[in-house]
Structure 1
Amino acid sequence: MNKVKEEPVSYSTYQGKHKKFYRQIYFEYICLLITDLYKETVPDNEFCNDFIERLNTLENDPKPYYAIGFIEHYEPYSWAWYIIVNKYEVRNLTQEEKILEHNLFNDFLERKNIKFWNIEDTKN
């Protein structure tokens, strides 16, 4: 399996706001969902490697906010499921899974000491 780049993607939204997308943190959360929500190991498959490649090349897009918007359009638990089954396949969470995902999300952000993986870049 390829590795996700550590450095965040700096970009401007179509409204001119400067933001940073922390792709490695985002992928780390997806891996957490695979292992702790779905109780699977992170597979080394085509979908996973394609997703990592997508994350690693976000800054190459002429309008990165579109590429990041595509990624964020899907819930992280959906990306986790797509990686497990190696394709786009709809799967809704049960009520228990929704609660677990909510708790995993909050614990993850607290442990990482962050508010979110896509934040406004106040230095620009």
Structure 2
Amino acid sequence: MENLYIYQDEFDNECTFLRKKYYEHICAMITDFFEEPLPDNEFYRNFLDVLNTLEDYHDVYYLTTEMPFYWAICIIENRRTNHHLIKNKTNDDFREWYIKYKKENDIVRFIIEGINEETYVFNNDNGGESIFLRKKYYELVCILVTDFFKKPLEYNAMNATLIGNLNALFADGKRKDISTFVDREPYYWAMSIIEDKETTNVLNEKELEGYAEFIEDFYKNNEIKSFVIPE
């Protein structure tokens, strides 16, 4: 089984499915959480076949729209099942095990996605519409990490949170929906990704001077003046 499956999602963005980690997670759930031997039954073989023959994002969504413990129970019972949990396990038991497993195996999410759409149209405070350049905003945060702060860009919990928040903006949203981005300096997100937590740090006076110059160069190179453009 190949470790990664790279595919185009419904927005034509390149995504990465951590296929082998997903498989290992389900196997560990069977053997470690439910304390059952890993069976070699028909459902297990069919599930493995789906993992090995993914063709597009529909196949990935077929696997990941179900909770992993559902597939684990189906494999144990060798059938589609209505059981939520088995062997007197509770949601709290699972949550505790899952948090520990993710930490020990360095997992944030099983799908690494990008920004779905370049722009986001929202209703501004003047009764009209404006455009938020969300993809450009994310690009700036990334290069702040790598070029301004000189740190490696990691796909950690804060990076995943930023991508998820940018993708989840409401289609009929208002100005307040983008306030966490445009009312907060982008360096906040960059520093949060570096620290993998909501940062409490701020730039000193000298760093702010370099930051302002960095932002100005980014705007100039991308031929924009702001991340919000009135229509």
CA distance in 1, matches of 2:28, 2:99: 12
CA RMSD for the aligned pairs?
1.9
Q: Which of residues 28, 32, 51 in structure 2 aligns to 1:32? A: 28
Question: Which 5+ residue runs of structure 1 have no aligned equivalent?
Answer: none
Q: Pick from 103, 107, 122 the counterpart of residue 110 of structure 1.
A: 103
- Local SS of the residue matching 1:70: helix
Counterpart residue number, 1:49: 45
Query: What is the Cα deviation at residue 91 of structure 1?
Result: 0.3
Letter in 1 for 2:44: C
Matched, 1:71 2:63: yes
Residue 99 of structure 1 and its aligned partner are, at CA, apart by 1.2
CA distance change for structure 1 residues 96 and 81 in 2, over 3 Å: closer, same or farther? closer
Aligned to 1:15: 11
TM-score (norm 2): 0.46
Bigger RCO of structures 1 and 2 (CA < 8 A, at least 6 apart):
1
Distance 2:68 2:47 in 1: 12
Deviations 1:16-47 (A, max 9, x none): 22111111110111111112222211101111
Aligned residues: 114
Q: Distance in 2 between matches of 1:92 and 1:114?
A: 23
SS of 1:20's partner is strand
Distance apart, 1:96 and its partner CA: 4.9
CA distance in structure 1 between the aligned counterparts of 2:39 and 2:84, rounded to whole angstroms: 20
Name the aligned partner's letter for residue 100 of structure 2.
Answer: D
The letter of the residue matching 2:109 is F
Structure 1 moving runs of 4+ over 6 Å: none
- Distance across 2 between alignment mates of 1:29 and 1:104: 11
